[in-house]
Amino acid sequence: MEEIEIIVKEAVPEDALFVQRAMADLSEETDFLTITQADITLPESIMANQLEQLYQSENNLLLLALAGDKIIGIASVKSDSHPSVSHVGEVGICIYKEFWGIGLGNMLLEEVKSWAIESEIVRRLELQVQVRNKRACQLYQKVGFEIEGESQRAAISSEGEWQSVYTMGLLID
């Protein structure tokens, strides 16, 4: 693959249509993701409103990795507003297959970690990943996530097979 310039930026309301299109495309590339039809068929105005709320939030984040004007990857942190759990952020990441293996996942996760440190609110990042997704498991461990547990029959593959899922966590100090 030729060298490409990648820019990582926080999503803003004006990105709504592009985010929806990317989510729709990404959901078709792999069955590791849990993007629903409802996520990709929201009216653009509602998606824009959601992006505005994320942008204004101190403990939620949506990052876009761009090559030119094309979204090639997305990373998110979703946190609850309740004070007892507002310090916990659930991480999600998805990257177009053609950009796998170039360090983009690592780049996005390092940005997420930096944001969490700077936020002074998010003190724990967590995620769930299918055990069979070895590449993602290795990436998460490389950036500091630890396996905290394994749930049996926590997902079903597109072939109808039960899948185990790791819960992984990273403490932010």
* CA proximity to 36, closest of 86, 117, 92, 87: 92
Q: What is the pLDDT of residues 57-101, one digit of tens each?
A: 999 999 999 999 999 999 999 999 999 999 999 999 999 999 999
The residue count for the chain: 173
Bridge partners of residue 24, in order along the sequence: none
pLDDT computed for residue 37 by the predictor? 65
pLDDT-based confidence at residue 3 (cuts at 50, 70, 90): confident
The answer for 31, left when phi > 0, alpha when psi is -120 to 50, beta otherwise, is: alpha
Task: Give me the residue label for tokens 């991480």.
Answer: 91
pTM: 0.91
Q: How far apart are CA 138 and CA 76, in angstroms?
A: 19
Quick one: pLDDT at residue 127? 98
Q: What angle do CA 163, 157, 63 make, to 5 degrees?
A: 90
Q: Is the pLDDT of residue 109 over 80?
A: yes
Please say if the pLDDT value at position 36 is more than 70.
no
The helix, strand and coil proportions of the chain, stated in percent and rounded to the nearest 5, come to 35, 35, 30
Crossing angle of helices 104-119 and 134-142, rounded to 10°: 40
CATH entry, 6-126, from 3.30.200.20, 3.40.630.30, 3.40.50.2020, 3.10.450.40: 3.40.630.30
Residues 115-144: tens digit of each pLDDT: 999 999 999 999 999 999 999 999 999 999
Q: Count CA within 13 A, CB hemisphere, residue 27.
A: 14
Nearest 5°: the CA angle 16, 18, 19 is: 65
Map residue 125 onto helix, strand or coil. Answer: strand
Q: How confident is the model at residue 4 (pLDDT cuts 50, 70, 90)?
A: confident
Give 85's DSSP letter.
Answer: T
CA–CA dist 66, 72 (Å, integer) = 6
**Helical (H) or strand (E) element with 155:** strand 146-156
